[in-house]
């Protein structure tokens, strides 16, 4: 079960999570960051780093944010997939 980035990241994107991910599976989209669901090793390192509590393990994503589970997956299949984060 991968970790998922949800709504609170939109417009924040401070990338604290990126710095701690051991497998570099957090990518930058236009409005928020996304975790690649097939690359995440479920280590949990990113979750406490997020200042706005945008990151959840997939099984703990709140009901009102469930659409982000699919969004973190579908984002990588679109025409303009999330890229390596820039600083
Ligand atoms: S849970 Fe671990 S591997 Fe997955 S995105 Fe967070 S830091 Fe990276
Ligand atoms: S730490 Fe949180 S707000 Fe910052 S980029 Fe990562 S998910 Fe987004």
Output the tens digit of pLDDT for each of the chain's 87 residues: 899 999 999 999 999 999 999 999 999 999 999 999 999 999 999 999 999 999 999 999 999 999 999 999 999 998 999 999 987
Q: Please report whether residue 82 resides in a domain.
A: no
User: What is the number of the ligand 2 atom nearest to the C-alpha of 13?
Assistant: 5
Q: Is the CB of 39 under 6 A from ligand 1?
A: no
Q: Please report whether residue 20 resides in a domain.
A: yes
Question: What's the CATH number where 21 sits?
Answer: 3.30.70.20
Query: Which protein residues are within 6 Å of ligand 2, measured from CB?
Result: 5, 9, 12-17, 33, 49-50, 52, 54-55
Domain boundaries, position 28: 3-77
Q: Please report whether residue 85 resides in a domain.
A: no
Is residue 74 helix, strand or coil? helix
Per the structure, the count of domains in the chain is: 1
Q: Please report whether residue 25 resides in a domain.
A: yes
């Amino acid at each position: 079960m991968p970790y998922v980035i949800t709504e609170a990241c939109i417009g924040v994107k401070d990338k604290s999570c990126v710095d701690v991910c051991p497998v570099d599976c957090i990518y930058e989209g236009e409005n928020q960051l996304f975790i690649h669901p097939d690359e995440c090793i479920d280590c949990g390192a990113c979750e406490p780093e997020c200042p706005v509590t945008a990151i959840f393990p997939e099984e703990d994503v709140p009901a009102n944010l469930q659409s982000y589970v699919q969004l973190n997956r579908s984002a990588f299949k679109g025409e303009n997939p999330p890229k390596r984060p820039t600083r």
